[in-house]
Amino acid sequence: MVYLNYNNLDAETQNRLLHDSKNDVEQRFGNDLKSYAKKQHLDYNTLLEEEAIKNLYSYQYVFNI
């Protein structure tokens, strides 16, 4: 679960969440993504960012108001 303060949903917090999601995706699927990107002639960083954005939807958020 990701705990967020409702009053602190600024760009910095969103960037932190995306960064954490990128690290999570890279840790779990990094080798698979690298081989897929190489095989399909895709940019690895773009693919990683797309998967990180998708991964954000799998998190459970708790908002403190």
For the chain, give every domain's residue range: 2-64
Is 5 in a helix, a strand, or coil?
Answer: strand
Percent of the chain with pLDDT over 90: 60
| Band of pLDDT at residue 7, cut at 50, 70 and 90 | low
Q: Whole-prediction pTM value?
A: 0.79
* Structure confidence at residue 61 (pLDDT): 78
| Partners of 61 in beta bridges | 2
The answer for residues whose C-beta is within 8 angstroms of residue 15's C-beta and 6 or more apart is none
Q: What is the pLDDT, as a whole number, of residue 5? A: 65
Does 46 have pLDDT greater than 70?
A: yes
9 pLDDT above the threshold of 80: no
